[in-house]
Amino acid sequence: MKKMVQFGLVVMTLLCAVLIACASGPKEINGIPVSKSGDFEYQKIEFKMASDGSKQKGIQIESYTGKSEEVAIPEKINGQNVIVIGNSNKSQNRLPVFQNIKKIGIPDTVISIWAVAFQGNNLTEVTLPPNLDYLNGFNMNPISSITIPESVTKIGYYAFAGCQLTDIVIPKNVKTIEQRAFMQNKLTSLTIPASVTKIENEAFINNQITEITIEDGGTELSFGSNVFAGNPINLADIIIPDSIRKIKDDMFEMTIQGQGKERTITLTGLLKKADKNNVNWNEVVIPETLYGMQVTGLGKGLFKFGYNIGKLSLPASLKTIDPDTCGIAPDGIKYTLVSSIEAPNDKVKALWDTYYAGLKERKSSQYEEHMQGLNRMLQLIENFDKSLNK
């Protein structure tokens, strides 16, 4: 009986040891011994996922206070999963979490890495966790290659700016590539998956890209300004797949009609800022082609009421102008004012003159209707006042 009790105690001791080991996570990550939780400044966090907006609770690592050049972040601290690496300071003075490190082990529990988390270290290779949702924070490291997990949905601003990347595979769940994410690397080619709907300002500026493929399947794509500036290829050289129906770039919003070589573009929004109030334009040039397709239409809402355009240059490819291309204020007082046009031929000039004359008539008619309605309201008020004085 005594031996059985002793045996039971041994079994329970071993079981407890196993449970404690499991609760505290692995002893090593990528061959690096896991650092003590006391080497980190951290806090509890409720984190919103970039992919679906769901909330996750866990630990956020804010700073590493240890001295080692090789660091492995623990999977758990105080029994809670480590899910975020990043400093909470949201100002431009946000500090890196790690400094002067050469190797990093990131636990599988991490789902978000924030801006500048690993900025300016000596990392040459990194293994990212398999459930990562938001990826950022590795700018200014001598990283030449990285595998981005399929779970990532957003690549953050400056994520790998100033690294040494020679190639990159963007996973098929990524929706947004934020500004300057891959600025100043050594990329020579790029494939953008159909899942991507937004590429922000200067995302791939100053690389060596000569070939860009946009995969078929997406319907909308938005480009910021200077996305591919400083590369042998530029935005105008990109072949847009047939599935894309709407595009935004730093100048225009547009829709695409037709298929294959018969595709044409209608411009539906003027996006580039004019002046600080975004109303006064010295000149607006409508291009003949964009992305290898002819610009044949000016669409509804291209110019909002209150815009003042000094000169509007029109292309020879122009065939249609929507009645609401230029805006009119509800009261009919303000409308899009175009002082002069430059047309390549009489046909395009006549098309614009006919349209703009009709716009002025609509403006006058709308103003008259507005005034008539206002007068009717004033008359009703006057009649009501008279009835009260009887």
pLDDT tens, residue by residue, 89-118: 665 567 899 999 999 999 999 999 999 999
The more confident residue out of 20 and 52 is 52
Domain boundary at 130, 161, 186, which?
Answer: 186
| 304 located within any domain | yes
| Collapsed DSSP state (helix, strand, coil) of residue 330 | coil
Q: Do residue 291 and residue 168 come from a single domain?
A: no
Judged against a pLDDT cut of 70, whether residue 374 lies above it is answered with: no
Q: Do residue 50 and residue 168 come from a single domain?
A: yes
Q: Do residue 172 and residue 288 come from a single domain?
A: no
Q: What is the pLDDT of residue 134?
A: 96
Domain boundary at 186, 221, 240, which?
Answer: 186
pLDDT tier at 9 (50, 70, 90 boundaries)? very low
| 265 located within any domain | yes
251-269 confidence digits (pLDDT tens)? 999 999 999 999 999 999 9
| 27 located within any domain | yes
57-101 confidence digits (pLDDT tens)? 999 999 999 999 999 999 999 999 999 999 876 655 678 999 999
Beta bridge partners of 32: 29
Q: What is the pLDDT of residue 105?
A: 96
Q: Do residue 54 and residue 182 come from a single domain?
A: yes
Q: Do residue 177 and residue 261 come from a single domain?
A: no
- Model pTM score: 0.83
Window from 31-45, 171-185, 192-206 with minimum mean pLDDT? 31-45
**Rg value, the chain, Cα:** 30
pLDDT tier at 276 (50, 70, 90 boundaries)? low
Give 353's contacts (C-beta < 8 A, 6+ positions apart).
none
What is the rounded average pLDDT of the residues 136-163?
Answer: 97
Strongest mean pLDDT among 53-67, 161-175, 334-348: 161-175
Q: Do residue 276 and residue 170 come from a single domain?
A: no
Q: Do residue 47 and residue 124 come from a single domain?
A: yes
pLDDT tier at 329 (50, 70, 90 boundaries)? low
Q: What is the pLDDT of residue 127?
A: 96
pLDDT tier at 337 (50, 70, 90 boundaries)? confident
pLDDT tier at 5 (50, 70, 90 boundaries)? very low
| 222 located within any domain | no
Q: What is the pLDDT of residue 360?
A: 75
Domain boundary at 167, 186, 205, which?
Answer: 186
| 220 located within any domain | no
Percent of the chain with pLDDT over 70: 82
Q: What is the pLDDT of residue 365?
A: 57
8 A C-beta contact, residue 72 and residue 44: no
Q: Do residue 158 and residue 261 come from a single domain?
A: no
Q: Do residue 171 and residue 274 come from a single domain?
A: no
Residue-by-residue DSSP string for 346-363: HHHHHHHHHHHHHHHHHH
| 194 located within any domain | no
8 A C-beta contact, residue 247 and residue 240: yes
- Domains: count for the chain: 2
**Dihedral sign (CA 216, 222, 227, 231):** positive
Average pLDDT, the chain: 86
289-311 confidence digits (pLDDT tens)? 999 999 999 999 898 877 889 99
The more confident residue out of 372 and 129 is 129
The more confident residue out of 353 and 373 is 353
| 206 located within any domain | no
Judged against a pLDDT cut of 70, whether residue 332 lies above it is answered with: no
Window from 18-32, 118-132, 210-224, 350-364 with minimum mean pLDDT? 18-32
* Burial profile 141-163: b = 16 or more Cβ within 10 angstroms, e = fewer: bebeebebeebbbbbbbbbbbbb
Q: What is the pLDDT of residue 376?
A: 61
| 302 located within any domain | yes
Q: What is the pLDDT of residue 377?
A: 63
Q: What is the pLDDT of residue 12?
A: 47
pLDDT tier at 357 (50, 70, 90 boundaries)? confident
Q: Do residue 177 and residue 32 come from a single domain?
A: yes
Q: Do residue 281 and residue 358 come from a single domain?
A: yes
Judged against a pLDDT cut of 60, whether residue 187 lies above it is answered with: yes
Q: Do residue 270 and residue 173 come from a single domain?
A: no
Window from 42-56, 72-86, 319-333 with minimum mean pLDDT? 319-333
**158 — alpha (psi -120 to 50), left (phi > 0) or beta?**
left
Using DSSP bridges, classify how beta strands 76-77 and 80-85 pair: parallel, antiparallel or unpaired: antiparallel
Could you list the residue range(s) of the whole structural domain that residue 78 is in?
Answer: 22-186
The CATH number covering residue 81 comes to 3.80.10.10
Q: What is the pLDDT of residue 175?
A: 97
